[in-house]
Amino acid sequence: MPKTLRIGQPDIVQIMDSLSEQLGIAMTNSNDDYCLDVSDKLGRGYIRGIQFSHGLGVIESHLTVNSKLHFLFEKLDVNYLQLLFNLDAKVVHKSSDSKEKTTINKLQYCMFANDTTTTHQISISKEKSSNFFMLLINRKVFEEKLMSLTDEFSNELELIFKDVNGVNHIFESNYFSLEISQYIEEFRRCEHEEFMKPMFLEGKAYEILTSQLHNYNNGGDDSKKTLLRKSTIDKIEKAVDIIKEELDVRINVYSLAKRVGLNQNTLQNGFKKLFRTSVNEYIKNYRIERAKTLMENSDLNISEITYKIGINSRSYFSKLFKERYGISPSKYMAHLQESNTKSA
């Protein structure tokens, strides 16, 4: 029998308290990082919530449930703006003012907000690995932060952020970039402790928000938006794995597309959609990022690093590195060695 969890509280702490009560599960709290282990009640997994300053909060859910589960976002005085990023099996969105249901597939997001009469429901299926990350923004509180930064907004952003009383019904769904998927993974894998952890998590939450708002603000005509099949996304992710695993060899876009079962144009369009860059630019950027990581975490010299990331010319590598980081690799390496000597 389907179960419904009701969400209708003004902040994340109260939301998590309510979910704890509805499920009959004790909630853990580690430095205002709240978590519910639902393994004994719903199936397997957890629901996590964190409240940041200025009305920004996060709820993330990684569940495999024994029966269908609904998250019902009820009407309340505080009308949240909510952005849901789906990272695995499809979820379904439905609002109370419509009979239509919207399927949110892997690597799709939906942005929604209640008006004064509408509720929203997110449903996850039985025995499917559900994995989503949500930003919840109390627009009345968040407005104070925005107005301290600027009073100029595009028409699109003014519609969603200045409607602090929830007059307008908002719903938007499309794909989000794999860049955002990476930010979410970094949020979840945060290794910082003490006061550094909440600072890192809040910064990463804003990174996710600003990246998605940039995409939304520059989305253009909906009729020109390209839809990607789940199978295509899986093949693009496979291409990314190949790039990372075989970084030391020359990678040809045509042969890469063939290996993952796509034509070259589909692969290029998929990278532009999910990474906002071409395949070759992605490879180049990843090589330089990987080189920096190797400088910081290995004993390899610059020539060895250049070879390991698949660039034959040391001078070309130096040019790319300086363009990216504003310092030559030799100077950066010397800086690292000096820092290590001082800390020894």
pLDDT digits (tens, 9 = 90+) for 67-83: 999 999 887 766 788 99
Confidence of residue 342 (pLDDT cuts 50, 70, 90): low
Alpha carbon distance 210, 216 (integer Å):
10
pLDDT computed for residue 151 by the predictor? 65
CATH 1.10.10.60 maps onto the chain at 230-343
Q: Both tokens of residue 75?
A: 């009407």
pLDDT exceeds cutoff 80 at 341: no
Task: Tell me the CB-side half-sphere exposure of residue 144, using CA atoms within 13 A.
Answer: 7
Alpha carbon distance 233, 255 (integer Å):
18
Check residue 124 and report its DSSP letter. Answer: E
% pLDDT > 90, the chain: 54
Alpha carbon distance 139, 163 (integer Å):
8
- Count of beta carbons in the 10 Å neighbourhood of residue 243: 17
Q: Are 47 and 61 in contact (CB under 8 A)?
A: yes
* Fold (topology level) of 230-343: Arc Repressor Mutant, subunit A (1.10.10)
pLDDT computed for residue 166 by the predictor? 64
Burial class (CB in 10 A: 0-12, 13-18, 19+), 18: middle
User: Where do the DSSP E strands lie in the chain?
Assistant: 3-7, 28-29, 33-37, 43-51, 56-65, 69-73, 80-86, 91-95, 101-104, 108-113, 120-124, 129-138, 170-175
pLDDT digits over 245-284, tens only? 999 988 899 999 999 999 999 999 889 888 888 999 999 9
pLDDT exceeds cutoff 80 at 135: yes
- Give helix 230-245 / helix 279-297 axis angle, nearest 10°: 40
pLDDT exceeds cutoff 70 at 221: no
CATH 2.60.120.10 maps onto the chain at 3-224
Its CATH architecture, for the domain 3-224, is: Sandwich (2.60)
CA trace torsion 290, 294, 295, 298 (10° rounding): 180
